[in-house]
Structure 1
Amino acid sequence: MNVREKLNWKDTNLALFGSDLEKKIKAAAADSEPQWSNIGTSVALHIWRIEQFMVKPWPSNKHGKFHKGDSYVVLNTYKPEPSKPKLAHDIHIWIGDNSSQDEYGTAAYKMVELDDKLGGTAVQHREVQGKESTLFQKYFGNHLTYLEGGVESGFHHVECSAAEPHLYKIKGTRKSDTLRLTQEPVRRNSLNTGDVFVLTAGEEAVWIWVGKESNQDEQAKGVEVAQAFCKKGNVIVLNQGVNDNEKEATEFWAFLPGKVAVLGPIKKSVRVQAADEKDNKSRAFVPVLFQIPEQTGGKLRKVATAKKQPVGPTRDMQYLLPRSTLQSKHGYLLDTGFHIFVWLGSQAPTICKANAMPQAHMYFSSFRRPLLPLTVVKERQETDLFQERFHEAGSAGCACVLM
């Protein structure tokens, strides 16, 4: 297998285990993983990057910053009840758009390995660049930064200097918790009318370029980011349609290869849809529950579709599924429209558990679903986010949870 082979994550499945890839991963692991020593014994957030089939610690000063070409393992250990000593764990793998199959496969394997190390009590999550779950975003104050390159390319992010300019795109809204800071190629056609961009070229050379259709949240975040970069002097603000002439802000345009004319069609034709507009369209999705096959080669079988139920004192209508649908001897896949869950019953056969992740990944392409956050939960270890999608039979008007 070519170590640099790239994979289209829309076609991804985890039917890799038992393959040559798994053998290489196991050989590299050499029976035990030193990074797991004394992990999960106290409240903490740990991040590791996958480097040549190995997990390497990611520095705390880079938490929230991820290279597009890499995959990472993230462990959050916390106390569900702060006054009690009991600890709980969430394990995430984060996959960059340009991460290789080897890196992603290693991350997935290591997530399971780490869960085993923690006694099988962790909740497992898969995060994809640009589609991270709300839980994952909160670890980093809802502000994620995507950096160019990755370990395979030998890319090492360096602090900006006059010799090495950096261009960052700010996109999203605070309301929907989707603000993203993404490192972009330093060229003129990286700019677009719907977003805000920050160009850095040393502590005294920092610019904000404001797209005509960018929103106030993006503009405010742009100022915050630019000021953090600018240690001396002032941040220069450029507005699309006002400062497009190269005779204005000569230094700014000199850093961006290309012709000014490229901004013409961008101003006239590009329409960047705001994140909250997309979310509103997605809300029409009705959650659906599938049973995971218990034989090799089997297919997901739809077993239930959510129905509107009155919830809480205000009797708001929400799409819920009956909790009784979940049987301990089976495994299920739940698509809520915004999040995919795999639920594994305590008595589910081994073949069902082995099929769970491959079936979940095949689901995205087979049912033409976008790449959504994916979480694996086990019976009696369900998260609140999963349980709130169900109601107990005979408890009309109440979205109860199983204790």
Structure 2
Amino acid sequence: MIKAKKYNWKDSNLALFGSDVEKQVKKDAAKTELAWKDAGKKPGLQIWRIVKFKVVAWPRDDYGKFYNGDSYIILKTYKKKDSDELHYDLHFWIGADSTQDEYGTAAYKTVELDQLLDDKPVQHREVMDHESDMFKTYFPTITKMEGGADTGFRHVKPRDYKPRLLQFKGSRRLVSLRERPLSKHSLDGGDVFILDNGLDIYQWNGDGSNKDERMRAMQYLQQLKSERGRARSETIDQRRCAPEHPFMKALSDAKPEEEDQTDAKEDTSKPAMFRLRHEANKLTFSQVAEGDLPKAKLDNNFVFVVDTKKELYVWIGRGANKMERQNAMAYAHNYLRTTGHPFIPIACINEAREPDAFWKVLV
């Protein structure tokens, strides 16, 4: 598949039912989805990547590593205190350069796995660089790499590595790792960077970087060295890194392309609540509240979309019909494309299985 240059929200319609994507996915699913064989059987984390309409298990050694050209499905299985019942949070993660075929398949397969687990999971949509706090807690570090997994460095000999510039940004458990263009313009004095050149590895500490970024970068550097055996490393501070240092000489003077901010605009909207209703063979999506989000507006005969501007909840009432349930996530996703906050996380929850965070946003 040809990768889109940048994630284009105008093309990111998840209402793919009846499309060629759905037909291909159903055809493969008809053969029985072997990837779900052990899904959700015991507490823990499981990750799959979408490869040409198929679900492929992601290696455990690579958990927390994501490529911006791919889409993934992540299942968190757990038990609550004093209970043996299994509970689930089910996420699909969309890379910034993932194709519509890939993230459409991820969304469809997420619903399929949800149904396999008797509709017990809370479904979540995660967009690269806008992940929910819950998602971030699953990994000590989230590593975001350029390209797709098939172009990765997992099995390449150290001497054959192409240089990579890695940025460490965040604090405490939420330090993220992101590959950046090999350019001096990528450097930010508030963060830490590692130049990975196979057998020569440099850690560059920005003057304004914090101890968590420095510590996580150092741990990553030591891990690289242990994997490669004879690799050499050096840690340098921004103020002491001269222009002739090998770290700086490896970086281009060219300014990289600006990251795509498609449809970026000032967000002046207020929190809002909407109802999705199927009646007389027609689906209607209408606003029922703005500003305050009253729980009294919820009606268990329908689906409601609750937009806090930081996270969006899709609440599915017990009495919601099949059409409302099947189209809930697509309507939520497409609604967000019209707002000034299209990338926020989405959580799809069933009545009586709401997380505490949901009730806290209602009045």
TM-score, reference length from structure 1: 0.77
Contact 1:145/1:182, CA 8 A, preserved across alignment:
yes
Contact 1:294/1:355, CA 8 A, preserved across alignment:
no
| TM alignment of 1:2-401, pairs within 5 A | 3-4=1-2, 6=4, 8-11=7-10, 12-81=12-81, 83-141=82-140, 143-151=141-149, 154-158=150-154, 161-164=158-161, 165-174=163-172, 178-202=174-198, 205-231=200-226, 235-246=233-244, 249-250=245-246, 252-256=247-251, 258-259=252-253, 287-294=271-278, 300-307=285-292, 321-391=293-363
Provide the identity percentage.
36
Name the aligned partner's letter for residue 295 of structure 2: R
Q: Which runs of 5+ in 2 are unaligned?
A: 256-265
Alpha-carbon distance in structure 1 between the residues aligned to 2:138 and 2:210: 24
Contact 1:67/1:146, CA 8 A, preserved across alignment:
yes
* Offset, 1:324: 2.2
Contact 1:79/1:88, CA 8 A, preserved across alignment:
yes
* Offset, 1:325: 1.7
Contact 1:331/1:352, CA 8 A, preserved across alignment:
yes
Q: Which runs of 5+ in 1 are unaligned?
A: 264-280, 308-320, 392-403
* Offset, 1:180: 1.0
Could you list the structure 1 runs, at least 4 aligned residues long, displaced by more than 6 angstroms after superposition: none
TM-score, reference length from structure 2: 0.85
Give the direction of change, closer, same or farther, for the CA distance of 1:9–1:327 in structure 2 (3 Å limit): farther
* Offset, 1:87: 0.7
* Offset, 1:302: 2.2
* Offset, 1:55: 0.6
Give the direction of change, closer, same or farther, for the CA distance of 1:160–1:285 in structure 2 (3 Å limit): farther
Name the aligned partner's letter for residue 28 of structure 1: D
Alpha-carbon distance in structure 1 between the residues aligned to 2:189 and 2:276: 44
| Secondary structure of residue in 1 paired with 2:45 | strand
Alpha-carbon distance in structure 2 between the residues aligned to 1:80 and 1:289: 30
Alpha-carbon distance in structure 2 between the residues aligned to 1:139 and 1:381: 21
Give the direction of change, closer, same or farther, for the CA distance of 1:230–1:41 in structure 2 (3 Å limit): closer
Aligned residues: 346
| Secondary structure of residue in 2 paired with 1:300 | strand
Contact 2:3/2:98, CA 8 A, preserved across alignment:
no
| Secondary structure of residue in 2 paired with 1:292 | strand
* Offset, 1:122: 1.2
| TM-align CA RMSD | 2.8
Alpha-carbon distance in structure 2 between the residues aligned to 1:166 and 1:73: 26
| Secondary structure of residue in 1 paired with 2:88 | strand
